[in-house]
């Protein structure tokens, strides 16, 4: 399954150039949610997001999408130039692939995504990067759960 994981504020904001990790807020519970959801899994992110995080996340295989001949030598990191080919590979072998941003990778991957975990962070933050509009993409809200400091929405396709 192709699974997308994202956190947004109330205006679909996802990123900023003003914090060291690129995330406009610090919500510990959402980081913990992301950690437990992706632990032991294969995660894919764009080069900008990977550089903002600064290092591979432990206990996960990280695939970095870059068309810029980016090189990163680490046993749990793979760099790929073609996101679409990667998605096709994971669909064919029926292995879960977690799409973890940023905006470019979300936008390109959305047509292939089966399930989305969207953390809604209450409030209105400053930033420059937004989650794409998916209202016309045939997702339906399967569940909505109050997690205290954020609301977790789960969407499936169809
Ligand atoms: N709130 C959240 O949940 C969340 C999660 C993740 C990231 N973010 C935020 O999102 C922002 C970064 O987003 P971004 O859009 O700037 O960058 P990005 O999506 O992280 O990375 C874009 C990279 O993807 C490459 N790329 C483009 N098309 C590709 C393809 N078809 N196959 C393989 N690679 C391809 C680009 O290469 P070229 O430039 O060479 O084309 C570029 O290096 C940051 O602010 C980050 O903090 C937020």
Domain boundaries, the chain: 8-157
Top CATH class of 8-157 equals alpha beta
Q: Is there an atom of ligand 1 within 6 Å of 108 CB?
A: yes
3-state secondary structure of 111: helix
Residue 110 per-residue DSSP state: G
| Cα(142)–Cα(77) distance, integer angstroms | 32
| Cα(37)–Cα(32) distance, integer angstroms | 9
HSE-up (13 A, CA, CB side) for residue 130: 8
For residue 23, give the ligand 1 atom closest to its CA. 47
102 pLDDT band, cuts 50/70/90, is: very high
Q: Is there an atom of ligand 1 within 6 Å of 82 CB?
A: yes
Buried b (16+ CB within 10 A) or exposed e, 2-19: bbbbbbbbeebbbbbeee
Which among 5, 52, 40, 47 has a CA at the least distance from the CA of 150? 5
Chain segment 30-55, per-residue pLDDT in tens: 999 999 999 999 999 999 999 999 99
Based on its alpha-carbon atoms, the radius of gyration of the chain, rounded to whole angstroms, reads: 15
Give nearest CA residue, ligand 1 atom 36. Answer: 66
For residue 128, give the ligand 1 atom closest to its CA. 45
Chain segment 53-63, per-residue pLDDT in tens: 999 999 999 99
What pLDDT shows up at residue 158?
A: 79
């Amino acid at each position: 399954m192709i699974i997308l994981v994202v956190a947004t504020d109330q205006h679909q904001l996802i990123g900023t150039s003003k914090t060291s990790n690129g995330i406009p807020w610090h919500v510990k519970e959402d980081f913990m949610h992301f950690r437990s959801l992706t632990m032991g899994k294969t995660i894919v992110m764009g080069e900008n997001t990977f550089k903002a995080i600064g290092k591979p996340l432990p206990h996960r295989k990280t695939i970095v999408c870059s068309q810029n001949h980016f090189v990163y030598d680490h046993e749990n990191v793979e760099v790929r130039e073609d996101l679409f080919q990667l998605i096709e590979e994971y669909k064919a072998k029926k292995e879960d692939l977690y799409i973890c941003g940023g905006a470019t990778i979300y936008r390109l991957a959305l047509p292939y995504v089966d399930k989305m975990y969207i953390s809604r962070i209450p409030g209105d933050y400053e930033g420059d990067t937004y989650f794409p509009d998916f209202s016309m993409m045939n997702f339906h809200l399967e569940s909505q759960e109050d997690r205290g400091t954020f609301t977790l929405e789960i969407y499936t396709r169809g």
